[in-house]
Amino acid sequence: MGIAFAAGWTPCPCIGPILAGVLVLAGSQPQMALRYLIAYTLGLVVPFLLSALWLKQLVNFTAVPEYSTASRGRHSVSFFRVTGYRLVSGPFDLVYC
């Protein structure tokens, strides 16, 4: 499993094992090789081009709302209290069933 994980651990996971599979298919079916490589290239390039075209809308869509430090502290304290209660009382056991 470690070897498979290491094989897929590249800066962009779609470049490693997926490209290897496309190249194997292209090598085994030379008449379809150009179509496979074009499809792979478009699948890799199109998301980057679309995000470049809509960068402003993408930034606005993914923006994290600004919270004050006090409210952020209250939210995290309440989260930890609920999590601690659930750990002690046992409802987390349902997650592993």
**DSSP conformation letters of 57-82:** HHHHHSPPPP--HHHHHHHHHHHHHH
pTM: 0.46
DSSP 8-state code for residue 16: T
DSSP 8-state code for residue 36: H
pLDDT beyond 70 at 83: yes
Break the chain into its structural domains and give their ranges: 8-90
Q: What is the mean pLDDT of residues 1-16?
A: 59
**Residues of the chain with pLDDT > 70: what percent?**
67
The per-residue pLDDT for 97 is 46
CB 17 within 8 A of CB 8: yes
Which of 79, 66, 40 is closest to 87 using CA atoms? 79
Reported confidence tier of residue 43, pLDDT bands at 50, 70, 90: confident
Amino acid type, 29: Q
Tokens of 93: 């056991």
